[in-house]
Amino acid sequence: MMIKKLLSKRGQLSLEFSILMMTVVLAAVVVGYYMIETSLYIQNTSIETIDNVSSATLRVLSRV
């Protein structure tokens, strides 16, 4: 009985829609993961850059 429901027009449309929605959600999860990973990498890079600039500024100012 379940197979008959899936093979009907209404059931097939519902199955296609659920696969589409599952694909959209999966794509959003993957994109969100990479956005978070990239933002954490940029945060670490920015902190290192700020530290380097701060150290260089302190060295220059200590000579004055």
- Render pLDDT for 37-61 as a digit per residue (tens, 0 to 9): 988 888 878 888 888 888 888 888 8
Based on the structure, what is the number of domains in the chain? 1
Q: How far apart are CA 33 and CA 18, in angstroms?
A: 22
Give residue 1's pLDDT: 47
The CA-to-CA distance between both ends of the chain, in Å, stands at: 87
Contacts (Cβ under 8 Å, ≥6 apart) of 15: 6
Q: What residues make up the domain containing 59?
A: 2-63
pLDDT at position 13: 66
Q: Is residue 8 left, alpha or beta, with left meaning phi > 0 and alpha meaning psi from -120 to 50?
A: beta
Q: When comparing pLDDT for 61 and 9, which is higher?
A: 61
Query: Between the CA of residue 33 and those of 25, 28, 41, 51, what are the distances in Å?
Result: 12, 8, 12, 27
The pTM (predicted TM-score) of the whole model is: 0.56
Identify the residue whose tokens are 């993961």.
33
